C-alpha cells in the first residue's frame, strides 16, 4: 500500500512532524511518501492562502497520483480537498475531516483546539463545509503570537494543555481535536493530561487513508464528485492541464 501525504504549506519542518506522527501508527507494510508544497506560504491561516495551497495539492496530485493507493491533504482546513476528489480516481483524505470524523467515533461532540486565533474563521468554515456543525462544540484558540511555525507546539504545549482543560471544564465536550499541521505529534505527549480523548489529525488521516485504500472504492461516475467533463485551460502546469483535459500527462 502506497500513500502520499501532501503538505500544502511550504514549511519542510511541518512536513517532518506530520510524517513522524503518521509513522507511529501506520501499518508496517504501508509505504508513506511526503511532499512539501514548493510555492505558497509557511503555514495556511486564511481563505486566500488555502486557495493557493489547494492549487499546489492539485498540481502535485496531477504529477504523482498514478503512483499511489491514497493521498492525504495534510493541512487542517483541507485546502483543495473537494477539487482533488472530483479530479482524481484514488481516495483523497483531508487532515481536518479525518480528525473530526475520528472524534465523532469517540464521543457525541468534539471541540477544536489550535494555536492561533487567526485560524478560527477558516476552521469554522471547514467544519461547516464538512456538515459537522451539530457535532462541533466550537473552535478554541490561543491568543498572542509565536516565534516559529516549526516549533510552535513546543513553545505553546503548556498553554494548549491548559486550554484543553478549560474547554472540557466548560462542559458538553466529549473529544478534543488538536488542529493544525504544526501540532502533529503533540497529542501523544498531552493525552495523559487531558480528561477526554485527544485526536491527532495526522494519526487519524493515515489510518483513514489505509482503510480506504484497502476498501478500493470505485470512482463516482454520477453525483457531485464525479470527474468533470474535459476542458481546455491556459497557464496551468502541464500535468494539471492534461488532467483537466482528460489527456495523458505530458
Q: What is the pLDDT of residue 132?
A: 97
Q: What is the pLDDT of residue 250?
A: 65
Which tens digits make up the pLDDT trace of 172-198?
A: 899 999 999 999 999 999 999 999 999
Q: Are 112 and 141 in contact (CB under 8 A)?
A: no
Which tens digits make up the pLDDT trace of 28-84?
A: 999 999 999 999 999 898 899 999 999 999 999 999 999 999 999 999 999 999 999
Residue 10 has pLDDT above 80, yes or no: yes
Strand pairing partners for 93? Answer: 72
Which tens digits make up the pLDDT trace of 15-28?
A: 999 999 999 999 99
d(CA 41, CA 62): 21
Q: What is the pLDDT of residue 144?
A: 74
Residue 149 has pLDDT above 80, yes or no: yes
Map out the domains of the chain with their CATH numbers: 2-94+205-244 (3.40.50.12500), 97-201 (3.40.50.12500)
Residues in CB range of 39: below 8 A, 6 or more apart: 10, 52, 56
Q: What is the pLDDT of residue 87?
A: 96
pTM of the shown model: 0.94
Identify the CA nearest to 1 among candidates 22, 23, 32, 43.
Answer: 32
Amino acid at each position: 500500500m502506497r500513500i502520499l501525504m501532501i503538505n500544502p504549506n511550504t514549511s519542510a519542518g511541518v512536513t517532518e512532524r506530520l510524517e513522524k506522527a503518521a509513522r507511529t501508527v501506520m501499518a508496517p507494510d504501508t509505504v508513506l511518501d511526503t511532499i512539501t508544497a514548493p510555492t505558497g506560504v509557511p503555514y495556511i491561516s486564511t481563505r486566500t492562502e488555502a486557495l493557493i495551497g489547494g492549487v499546489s495539492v492539485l498540481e502535485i496530485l496531477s504529477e504523482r497520483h498514478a503512483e499511489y493507493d491514497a493521498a492525504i491533504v495534510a493541512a487542517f482546513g483541507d485546502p483543495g480537498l473537494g477539487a482533488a476528489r472530483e479530479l482524481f480516481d484514488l481516495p483523497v483524505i483531508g487532515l481536518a475531516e479525518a480528525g473530526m470524523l475520528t472524534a465523532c467515533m469517540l464521543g457525541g461532540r468534539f471541540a477544536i483546539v489550535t494555536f492561533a486565533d487567526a485560524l478560527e474563521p477558516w476552521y469554522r468554515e471547514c467544519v461547516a463545509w464538512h456538515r459537522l456543525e451539530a457535532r462541533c462544540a466550537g473552535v478554541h484558540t490561543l491568543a498572542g503570537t509565536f516565534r516559529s511555525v516549526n516549533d510552535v507546539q513546543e513553545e505553546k504545549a503548556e498553554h494548549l494543555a491548559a486550554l484543553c482543560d478549560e474547554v472540557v471544564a466548560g462542559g458538553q465536550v466529549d473529544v478534543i481535536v488538536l488542529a493544525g499541521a504544526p501540532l502533529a505529534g503533540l497529542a501523544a505527549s498531552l493525552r495523559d493530561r487531558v480528561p477526554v480523548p485527544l485526536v491527532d489529525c495526522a494519526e487519524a488521516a493515515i489510518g483513514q487513508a489505509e482503510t480506504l485504500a484497502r476498501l478500493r472504492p470505485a470512482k463516482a461516475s454520477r453525483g457531485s464528485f464525479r470527474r468533470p467533463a474535459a476542458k481546455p485551460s491556459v497557464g496551468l502546469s502541464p500535468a494539471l492541464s492534461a488532467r483537466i483535459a482528460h489527456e495523458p500527462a505530458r
